[in-house]
Structure 1
């Protein structure tokens, strides 16, 4: 108990210590005055003065206790609540990213099977048809990954999910960037005429065979490995 009280006193802010050092002696003197007056019968027929003295005595002891013990306890509970909310947000972000990466993996597998199974069709048309049915969850990946970036940039603190190894996280981030940028490049190359109108300096000119090779290379990006690694993030 003595150690805990000493820890509380050392951790208290200066203003709490100064105010306590003033109020506690005053409260002690009021206690002495109250006891002495009670023994001498001074308080008889002085109800208001008795209440006033009792209130001041309680005030002198209650305020330091509140500042030194109750205030830090309330701050600790507030901090624990914030950390619990952050942990929940982190879990939701990991789940959202995992789901969006699963969508990307499904899109990669579907596109790979279509390109390898139908070599006679134009690969751009295959890509556009698949894109119309399923947008590969690319926008969801970008949005949800920004939340993970914020957690990774937060210093490690007790009660919060610890950061991943920076090199491992950067490798995952690189794969995600390649997926996002590669998808955008395929989208631009799939409709060169529309792209040349909307973004004259951003069009991509590939032959059908080049498009097929680029699309298969994009499908080979190991997004599922990133998803499995994220699910192990504590």
Structure 2
């Protein structure tokens, strides 16, 4: 695909903020633009020009704006990394190799309780549910319930075969699967769901907009391994 773009830069503010107080103050609005991070990762494969993702902080001091500007106009490094420009330094996102973990003992699914999957009526949620069920079949003796969360609880015609496959496999294992209503973009809706399954919630797979649920239960949560490493400006 031809493009007139020479370079493409996306700047967000506090999307990857780790400070508890800013999340409590702003809530879900803080990560509204988090999807741009994934969009940039996809764009690098689809758009024939360098794509740079930069996350900074709203309270970036004036004397540090020069580092943000340098990140945008430094041609040698543009598009090679996703970075955070903060008052305390420059951080570069690094993916962690999975090789050190390949020989670890298999992670055991919970014996019982409730596993929640956000985006549960979509393709990704149903694929994750299928993986959990196949793992449960291999490990044996699992009697948990999987709740597939969504706003509508409706399965599209395109995803219906996947849902039917999930139902069939679950029935053969004696595991309960069900579509449950929960708007994971709403703090109130998530709180209500958590309350309804407490203390039986034993695990969850979460999309970015539902990460607020991580702080309210102690079960296992799937996270993509990555880390921000400090680098000189």
TM-score interval (norm. to shorter): under 0.3
Higher strand proportion: 2
TM-score by length of 1: 0.23
Higher helix proportion: 1
Higher radius of gyration, 1 or 2: 1
TM-score by length of 2: 0.23
